[in-house]
Structure 1
Amino acid sequence: MLDLEQTPRLCIEDVRITGHAQPIVLRSYRPASDGTVLPIVLYFHGGGFTRGGLDDADFAAATIARDTPAWVVSVGYSLAPLFPFPAAPEDGYRAAQWAVANARGQRADPLRFGVAGHDAGGNLATCLAAIARDRGEIVVSAQALLAPLLDPSMTRVADERKVKGTDLGLSECAKCYRAYLPNASQRLHPYAAPLESRRLVGLPAALIASAEHDLLHIEAEKYAGELIAAGVPTEVTRHGKASHQGLATHPAALADVVTFFKKRLARVK
């Protein structure tokens, strides 16, 4: 849990909204107002679609809110296996709708909207960007993905014998995917398997952070290449001495996210 005494410049509060299959909780992080109109960033925690929660996202969400600065809304999305796909991305879409509807009251700009996430949250962030593109109601301008889970087929992974210091095993990852996507056909759905999607054109500018000690760094970097091939402005960085789970609070990775959002969500003068 974030030490709130260490974030005196942020107003942090929880809000309950109607989700896809059940009520969900959002955690709002808003910098102390100085009259500046803020961009909006939706943040999704990790946990392999089956665990984790808002407390796990506290450090990253508060850092982005404070240092960008931005109004950050962390999404307590529904978890599998009780709530499998598409509950989580649809929860994310409802959170985005709520943020846009409440932007004015938070001194935020609904036209400067970004998404970010770690692990399963990285999957949900980029899938939400695709959903928003397709539905045409919300404009997402930037996506930042930290060690994202992108390939339910798990066919683009590193050799377990060659990657040292891993903290995410392939068997555990496969178990999480089975819980989230119980039907085999779902594992090719573009809103669940971004790396399988052939419709990447029109997605927002992307920052992808991978970790040296992560068996999934290959799929993250492969996705960056696919986005570039589709004409999406994309930055990708592999962080040395970092692990999959550790990337969620990695100072250099979060500094890159802040720099990325400052650039991509800057106010047009």
Structure 2
Amino acid sequence: MHPPPPITAEDLSIPGPAGPLALRLYRPSMAQVALPVVLYFHGGGFVGGSLNDADASATFIAEQTPALVVAVDYALAPARPFPAAPEDAHAAAQWTVEHAAGLGGDPARLAVAGDDAGGNLAAALTLIARDRNGPAILAQALVGPMLDPSMTRLGDGARLNSDLSAATCADCYRQYLPQTRQRLHPYASPLISVRQAGLPPALIVTAECDVLHKEAEHYAEALIAAGVPTQVVRFAGVNHATLASHRPALAEIAHFLRRRLWDAEVPAHPLNL
């Protein structure tokens, strides 16, 4: 008889703002207590990507934190442009908190994470949750996030040897934010928000060979200025495409989440499925 895999994955469909919303749950198979919950948003520039793209990150976080990880298959542009994706993110967060206990999770210990466009959605969700009085989010981990549709803080792609170009970013934002004024909305552009106070502690992970690392680090500065505990880690020699599956980056994320979700004197509840 083979032992169970360390992590089990289960696909679910829940009601979303505009129809069914697909989720994939990752659980450590040997968990004996209720686990903290991490919502994960995949990358793809707002126009692509799927739950499969979150698999490596979600599996690692579920095993190493450990946590119940909920990957969200949010709306994609151009078929469903802004604000569909952040509304899906908020709906998934609300559903997850309401049903966490039955899934082996602890709704009082919720974090969000995401890479690329998913990093934008994770950051936007912390703003939405604060503005709408819930759900409470204890931590955010942003991995190579796209945070600035104005693209005024992009790095020099040639100098950085970046695999991601300004032209690609512009094309993604054009489809995600078809109306120019949407680029000024803080849920589309967390970097331009002037209200970072009260957001959850953040880890921002960037890659040296990525035009986005400069804007992500600007966001870290804004969070710090607003009094939000914030840690920034830039990985040398790594590019945008490989950052989300880079093992040292994943280890940094798991360590951060462990510290925020397990080491904060939160009592562990027996698992009762």
Q: Same fold (TM over 0.5)?
A: yes
Q: Tell me the alpha carbon deviations over residues 97-125 of structure 1, each in whole angstroms, 9 at most, x when there is no partner.
A: 11111111122111100000000000000
**Taking structure 1 as reference, are residues 67 and 109 closer, same or farther at Cα in structure 2, changes over 3 Å only?**
same
Task: State which of 185, 188, 209 in structure 2 corresponds to 1:189.
Answer: 185
Task: State whether residues 21 and 83 of structure 1, in contact with CA within 8 Å, keep that contact through their aligned partners in structure 2.
Answer: no
> What is aligned with 1:215?
211
Q: Tell me the alpha carbon deviations over residues 19-53 of structure 1, each in whole angstroms, 9 at most, x when there is no partner.
A: 22232210000111432120000000000000000
1:101 aligns with 2:98: yes
1:255 aligns with 2:248: no
Cα separation, 1, equivalents of 2:54 and 2:99? 21
Q: Tell me the alpha carbon deviations over residues 115-170 of structure 1, each in whole angstroms, 9 at most, x when there is no partner.
A: 00000000000100110111113100100000000000000011223111x22111
Cα separation, 1, equivalents of 2:20 and 2:218? 35
Task: State which of 12, 30, 49 in structure 2 corresponds to 1:15.
Answer: 12
Q: Could you tell me the TM-score, scaled by structure 1's length? A: 0.95
> What is aligned with 2:65?
68
Q: Tell me the alpha carbon deviations over residues 223-243 of structure 1, each in whole angstroms, 9 at most, x when there is no partner.
A: 000000000000001101111
Deviation at 1:7, TM superposition (A): 8.4
Task: State whether residues 4 and 29 of structure 2, in contact with CA within 8 Å, keep that contact through their aligned partners in structure 1.
Answer: no
Q: Tell me the alpha carbon deviations over residues 42-65 of structure 1, each in whole angstroms, 9 at most, x when there is no partner.
A: 000000000000000000001000
Q: Secondary structure at the match of 2:158?
A: coil
> What is aligned with 1:198?
194
> What is aligned with 2:28?
31
- Give matches, 1:1-269, under 5 Å: 8-164=5-161, 166-266=162-262, 267-269=265-267
Which segment is superposed worse, 40-49 or 9-18?
Answer: 9-18
Task: State whether residues 141 and 265 of structure 1, in contact with CA within 8 Å, keep that contact through their aligned partners in structure 2.
Answer: yes
**Taking structure 1 as reference, are residues 250 and 188 closer, same or farther at Cα in structure 2, changes over 3 Å only?**
same
Q: Secondary structure at the match of 2:217?
A: helix
Q: Which amino acid is 1:268 matched to?
A: V
Cα separation, 2, equivalents of 1:154 and 1:34? 43
Q: Secondary structure at the match of 1:240?
A: strand
The CA RMSD over aligned residues, in Å, is: 1.4
Q: Tell me the alpha carbon deviations over residues 194-231 of structure 1, each in whole angstroms, 9 at most, x when there is no partner.
A: 11000100000000001000011100111000000000
Q: Which amino acid is 2:206 matched to?
A: S
- Mind listing any 5+ residue stretches in structure 2 that lack a counterpart? 268-273
Cα separation, 1, equivalents of 2:174 and 2:30? 44
Percent identity reads 55
How many residue pairs match? The answer is 264
Regions of 4+ moved over 3 Å? none
Q: Secondary structure at the match of 1:231?
A: coil
Q: Secondary structure at the match of 2:148?
A: coil
- Mind listing any 5+ residue stretches in structure 1 that lack a counterpart? none
Q: Could you tell me the TM-score, scaled by structure 2's length? A: 0.94
